[in-house]
Structure 1
Amino acid sequence: MKKNISNSVAVVIIAVLLTSCGTKKAVVVAPKPKVDSIVPPDTKSETLNLLKSKQLQFNTLSLKGKANLTINGEANDVTMNFRIKDKQVIWVSITAVGGVVEVARALITPDSIKIMDRLKGRYIKKPFSYIYNFTNKQVNFNTLQNILTGNAISGFLNLDANVKLANGVWTLSGSKEDLDYKFLFNTLYKVEETNLSDSKSGQALKVTYNNYQKLDDYLVPGTLKINTLSGAKKIIIAIDYVKVEGNSALNFPFNVPSRFELVK
């Protein structure tokens, strides 16, 4: 990564800055690993197909979370609202003061990034490639969507990966150009931990997922924790999704007030 893989999520979600209806659902408990009871698929291809079959599928997804953002030791409690249209749009709103005051809003598509900073009265409109000032060029729109929804990054679920069964759970790892990746799966075949790192730049991203809950025929994480590190800069985002709803009608409002200054 030329600047920071962590910014693929931390900057795009926080600095680049997460309404749903429905209620928080009961947690689905992952059974404890029982090595003797698990019969590994005969081929790597079958294993990958099994893991792919557990990936969350949706047309639209609405997530509301209580979040704690810690940047270099300074913590802030906020509310994050996400509205996602599969492979097309990620809409983000971040509010403070108990969810009353919106401080930032973002609209991210595979082609562009738009950000409103309501506190400073500014907004940014850039091509998606803008994030490559901060992160590896292998990070794309689908990478962001996968991380937010608890899916393994789909671009790495292929035959080039190393796939192992250890202590009753699957591990998938490998390297792609200068990017190293590793995914740990629980016994529900859902991602428990995502790791991305660039050893050349000394930068890393780690995401852990817990408290999976049912959404139709799939599972979505109830909590996630993002840890990013780039040199001396450390960002931690802990999100507890309090409301989750899939496949409902959503809009993605992004109207910039005329008084806002366009940052070039």
Structure 2
Amino acid sequence: MSRSIWNRWIWIAAISAGLLACKTKKAVVAVPKSDSTTTVNSRKSENLALLKKNNLSFNTLSLRGKASLNINGNSNNVSMNIRMKKDEMIWMSITAIAGIEVARVLITPDSIKVRNNFQSVYLKKPFNYVHAYTNKQVSFKLLQSVFSGNTIDDFMVEQSELEQLNGVWELKGQQQDLAYRVLFNTLLKVSENNLNDVKSGKALKVVYGDYQKVIDELFPSSMQISSMAGIKQVGINLDFSKIERNVPLDFPFSVPNKYEVIN
């Protein structure tokens, strides 16, 4: 792979992963069969509360696994280490198959930092820099919800349409230019997120695999993330091998003096 192609891959992979691991060793939780005959509560507020009640609660979250990345048709396999401190930061380390860390990312509600170890360069931007790859309504909390498999607060509102189809819930609506559609499984956990900004040609789709228990709460064993921004297309298949909740974590992010800061 040429240096220029590799460099481009690092930036896109790091930023897309922010926007947006071996097979799991833990037993997955069986999804009950849908029952379309079940009586549905007619109160939307209560149904929204029921779905939100099943969110994963955490102060810290650590995810490790392998990822297959497809960027505009070019595929690469890497290892990813993702750490989160609720409402404060999302930290990522991306490692090539050879065991060499190629990039490190730190995202906060205010900023995004990417350290490209391959070319010894460093990027620091305000959080809204990610809007070049996503809709402008994508926030830090939305990313946090995506990576934790939780519902997205901005969508869990009375203005959204919520109905049960064939025994499973579907939530949909539109906020400004962003149209959204969320599907739930019969565990009342998110099975699919679809965000679409037709005006800007940007779309994000996240599909969650089987759920497993992590200290008596449910977390997806895998995620498939598809992002499109104009002609740029990124696909990330994450398969988690280790998931830890509420454990002590550090979020190391330093930049050697020799690294060049780029705009």
Per the alignment, residue 4 of structure 1 pairs with: none
1:253 aligned counterpart, secondary structure = coil
1:19-30 → structure 2 map (5 Å cutoff): 24-30=25-31
The answer on whether the counterparts of 2:14 and 2:114 sit within 8 Å (CA) in structure 1 is: no
Q: 1:15 to 1:44 in 2, by over 3 A?
A: closer
Per the alignment, residue 6 of structure 2 pairs with: none
1:174 aligns with 2:173: yes
**Cα separation, 1, equivalents of 2:223 and 2:109:** 23
1:162-203: CA deviations, max 9, x gaps?
001000000000000000000000000011110000111222
Per the alignment, residue 88 of structure 1 pairs with: 88
Per the alignment, residue 49 of structure 1 pairs with: 49
Shift of 1:135: 2.7
The answer on whether the counterparts of 2:19 and 2:143 sit within 8 Å (CA) in structure 1 is: no
Amino acid across the alignment from 2:33: K
Per the alignment, residue 4 of structure 2 pairs with: none
Amino acid across the alignment from 1:220: F
Shift of 1:257: 0.8
Shift of 1:87: 0.8
Per the alignment, residue 227 of structure 1 pairs with: 226
Shift of 1:136: 2.2
Per the alignment, residue 212 of structure 1 pairs with: 211
2:237 aligned counterpart, secondary structure = strand
Shift of 1:10: 6.3
Amino acid across the alignment from 2:58: F
Shift of 1:132: 2.7
1:142 aligned counterpart, secondary structure = helix
Unaligned runs of 5+ in 2: 1-11
1:90-133: CA deviations, max 9, x gaps?
000000125x1100001111111111000010001122122233
Unaligned runs of 5+ in 1: 1-8
1:89-168 → structure 2 map (5 Å cutoff): 89-98=89-98, 100-168=99-167
CA RMSD of aligned residues (A): 1.9
**Cα separation, 1, equivalents of 2:185 and 2:124:** 39
2:154 aligned counterpart, secondary structure = helix
The answer on whether the counterparts of 2:227 and 2:235 sit within 8 Å (CA) in structure 1 is: yes
The answer on whether the counterparts of 2:18 and 2:107 sit within 8 Å (CA) in structure 1 is: no
The answer on whether the counterparts of 2:135 and 2:202 sit within 8 Å (CA) in structure 1 is: no
Q: 1:34 to 1:198 in 2, by over 3 A?
A: same
1:252 aligned counterpart, secondary structure = coil
Per the alignment, residue 5 of structure 1 pairs with: none
1:250 aligns with 2:253: no
Q: Comparing 44-53 with 224-233, which one deviates more in the overlay?
A: 224-233
Amino acid across the alignment from 1:12: I
The answer on whether the counterparts of 1:114 and 1:124 sit within 8 Å (CA) in structure 2 is: yes
Amino acid across the alignment from 1:79: S
Amino acid across the alignment from 1:28: V
Q: 1:95 to 1:10 in 2, by over 3 A?
A: closer
1:12 aligns with 2:15: yes
1:155 aligned counterpart, secondary structure = helix
Q: 1:90 to 1:66 in 2, by over 3 A?
A: same
Amino acid across the alignment from 2:204: L
Q: 1:33 to 1:111 in 2, by over 3 A?
A: same
1:145 aligned counterpart, secondary structure = helix
**Cα separation, 1, equivalents of 2:198 and 2:246:** 39
Q: 1:63 to 1:251 in 2, by over 3 A?
A: same
1:54-94: CA deviations, max 9, x gaps?
11110000000211001111110000100100111100000
1:35 aligned counterpart, secondary structure = coil
Q: Comparing 124-133 with 221-230, which one deviates more in the overlay?
A: 124-133
The answer on whether the counterparts of 2:33 and 2:186 sit within 8 Å (CA) in structure 1 is: yes
Per the alignment, residue 32 of structure 2 pairs with: 31
Shift of 1:11: 5.8
**Cα separation, 1, equivalents of 2:233 and 2:111:** 26
Shift of 1:15: 8.3
The answer on whether the counterparts of 1:17 and 1:117 sit within 8 Å (CA) in structure 2 is: no
